[in-house]
Chain A
């Protein structure tokens, strides 16, 4: 009666200090790009996916030019020298100087991220869900670690680099090994499965190298309500049994309101406006990390902002570039 039960929350980074709220994402100069998903650097230029297209940007401020068009939506991009690998849902295309290089398709449910391990070996992140499945809705309520990272050589040899991952979303090379992000587990692991950084305040997306370490794109901010509901099996069962996944309570990519989606008490409007500090299921967050994965800075788009769901980041000529899926923009955050 007198001693409140201790609720042991997983050790989590809070949005304080280096991760304290700001409006860097909302203030950043932007270039509108419909449906951006992934980007990579090739030959000093920036390649950005836009739906089925891959656009090319040689200089910040120029209008992006269509570099290549595919039949299905682009889900991942990577480059090595002249070679550019493009993830197309479950398919893989590798181009070199505009020509298709034959490369075997990986045995993946979908391609979330790509990385050239060498000129002729590609690492593929397989989140464990199909390209048409709503990953953000499903992952929080899925206990099965079905994700993996595969290595595919141009010659056809395939190997499993990492397995038993819970919804991996991105990777970056760290010496001979890999750092892999897990979306809903909000952590970074290496290829052996060892946890390198846990308790991220956001649902982790892609990861890139910067001059000072790494930058991490977060698809949303971790939400205490969702984390709490994960501990309520009756609720999870009822939701899975009776509600379509797009209506599940989950992180979202869009800050807008819809009549059939839930909100939290703090998100109710006053005088028509949403308070920036209101809890929201969508959020824009880029976390800068040093070489030891210690957070050193962050860029936010808060509840009242629009540049949510950052799907990719990269260091382009010393500028930190981010993609916002919610607003459909390439954002330049300035010096990386």
Chain B
């Protein structure tokens, strides 16, 4: 009855080293966060390429320096606008505030004769003041952003006009020179103008602010959903105020840079700037989207618009024509961008499911045992904990006969022996607890989908053992995180072997993995002594239940969609899996030891000729996923299944089917304990108990491991 001699004669299971698919790469790229900036980036690239082709030396170093010099203040204002838009506002007053800051700077420099740092402070103060007024009105008083900033735009413009009319001639005829002033306006550091460096620094700061700081997160939260942010304890009004004030401050810096560079202002300074900035913002964000701090996208959008405008003006096109052309080009970019954003999830959805042909071996070894040939044995099972356990994927019994199971809401429950009526919570883990096992110290180790491997003591203390493994080669997506830890087994040496059923689909969408039929899963080991986690075998087809053979030398791993059971040699894992059993009549889930030296295999669902045929036609499944609503997708029949009993050599010796109308169905786990079989189902709300006449009434699963271990 030992399998050792058999192992080398079993057929090898080929496992791909590398899974490459253009559709998958596309979908991985699309699901990355950075893809948001792809259209602004492409627009900028197209603009640059177009200009390189159409002009002669536009991108010469000298002109690039000009661009860097003159775009800096606009770029700063864009960042200011981004902050305000991110918080869910709008700032039309940027142009006026910008002009005012520039005026204040010139006034301070030429009329008051202040030192340059004081001029900078004055300028920033001017911007800050306007920002604060906006912030008080829009944030604290709650006036609409549009009207508030329209008001400040007109008011500040009025003050600017009055003040500049009075002072401009004096400013224009001032002869004051200052080295620092000229340095800010014209000097270069590392070949690039000061203004550019200021923009770069501010951009990095804003980027970091949105990414890393509490304030930045608060801005995004308020912009994303004001109500939710308030309920989340964020000071919404304070955040809005601070965002406007910060934006004002940045506008002040921009005004100062402008003043230092131009050394003059005109009545039209900053006029139309708000629209230019909004256009760039909209191109960068693909619309007017609050709650997004996409600094890079927005700067790309700005660069696109700026360069476009600049090149056309430079090429000597007439001003009105430039505006017309700009308008049309922006509309085109926007149309594409909005379209892309709108359809990105659709594109992602349509490319995310990337099925391959899977030919499942025909059903074998089931003669006389199929559901239509014998009575459904599980119809006679006793129902335990009905309605009190939500989704017991795995069931586990301790020596005292207490029953443990995970639930859909992330808890581990204990059903007390002997009658299992008293249900109590052992621990609240979160995630989706699936496979369970006892370690040598009597603690429960659980596979938790969405988390990883978790250890729970009998006192209910929860400890995370591991949540990531080594990254596989050439993966676009970071696949180090364990996505769907499914079932585990602890080998005699204490190493935990567990399956990550799908690296690609979450527990909510595990059905997609069937339709894809790709080797998306992996077998992982975790050594609690060293704390090291490593991938034992990557690219398995939905590896599910794991069981160490009775002799402790091999590891059985169920491959659900392949309807087969693989076997690994624990002494030589690198040799890869061989096929222990194939051609199962359904989809195997957990595997557990039986008292007679054989194994129980849970069949979560049954194959049928139609789905078997569809599995060989990936194109049909892909088109189905696009054209048919998900609820109508052809699927494995998970409404009916059962339990198979295997002997030690892997021959099917018994089949226990559930009745088509319940109460048990989609059996995902079973444990033999003292002459009875306990059955769990991942979508059921009950546990079954079936007496096994003739089984060893003293045998327990936990005991069988201790005897060897």
Contacts and interface: CB of A to CB of B under 8 A. Distances in A.
Interface of A: 1-4, 7, 223-225, 228-229, 232, 234-235, 238-239, 242-244, 247-249, 256-272, 278-279
B613 A242 contact: yes
B609 A225 contact: no
A230 to B, nearest CB: 12
A262 B634 contact: yes
A3 to B, nearest CB: 8
Interface of B: 336, 339-340, 343, 346-347, 350, 370-372, 387, 390, 511, 585-586, 606, 608-611, 613-614, 616-617, 619-620, 623-624, 627-641, 657, 660-663, 665-666, 683-686
B632 A262 contact: no
B637 A243 contact: no
Q: For B390, B614, B662, which residue has the most chain A Cβ atoms within 10 angstroms?
A: B614
Contacts of A267: 631, 635, 639
B617 A259 contact: no
Nearest to B350: A4
A263 B638 CA distance: 8
B661 A238 contact: no
A245 to B, nearest CB: 11
Nearest to A264: B632
Contacts of A261: 608, 610, 637
* A4, A256, A262 interface centre (most CB from chain B within 10 Å): A262
17 contacts: A225-B624, A229-B620, A239-B613, A243-B613, A247-B610, A249-B634, A259-B606, A259-B608, A260-B372, A261-B610, A261-B637, A264-B632, A265-B633, A266-B632, A270-B683, A271-B684, A272-B685
Contacts of A269: 638-639, 665-666, 683-684
B628 A225 contact: yes
Given A4-B346, A257-B660, A225 B633 contact: yes
B638 to A, nearest CB: 5
Contacts of B686: 272
Nearest to A7: B627
Nearest to A232: B620
The 4 A-B pairs at the shortest CB distance, nearest first, are namely: A266-B631, A259-B606, A271-B685, A265-B635
A229 B661 CA distance: 28
A279 B623 CA distance: 19
A238 B511 CA distance: 24
Contacts of B339: 2-3
Contacts of B619: 234
A263 B634 CA distance: 6
B371 A263 contact: no
A4 B616 CA distance: 26
Contact of B628 (A224, A242, A248, A271): A224
B197 to A, nearest CB: 38
Given A229-B624, A271-B685, 13 more contacts: A3-B339, A4-B350, A225-B628, A228-B632, A244-B609, A247-B608, A256-B660, A258-B640, A259-B371, A259-B657, A264-B633, A268-B511, A269-B665
Contacts of A265: 511, 630-635
Contacts of B611: 262
B372 A259 contact: yes
Nearest to A261: B608
B501 to A, nearest CB: 17
A259 B655 CA distance: 13
A225 B632 CA distance: 6
A272 B383 CA distance: 12
Contacts of A262: 608, 610-611, 634-635, 637
A271 B683 contact: yes
Contact of B660 (A258, A264, A268): A258
A269 B605 CA distance: 12
A1 B617 CA distance: 24
B157 to A, nearest CB: 40
Which of A1, A235, A242, A278 has the most chain B CB atoms closer than 10 A to its own CB?
Answer: A235
B616 A238 contact: yes
Nearest to B511: A265
Contacts of B343: 2, 4
A2 B340 contact: yes
Contacts of B634: 225, 229, 249, 262, 264-265
Contacts of B613: 235, 238-239, 242-243
A272 B634 CA distance: 20
Given A234-B619, A259-B372, A243 B635 contact: no
Contact of A264 (B346, B372, B635, B684): B635
Nearest to A271: B685
A229 B628 CA distance: 10
A223 to B, nearest CB: 7
Nearest to B616: A238
Nearest to A250: B610
Contact of A279 (B350, B624, B632, B639): B632
A4 B666 CA distance: 37
Contacts of B663: 272
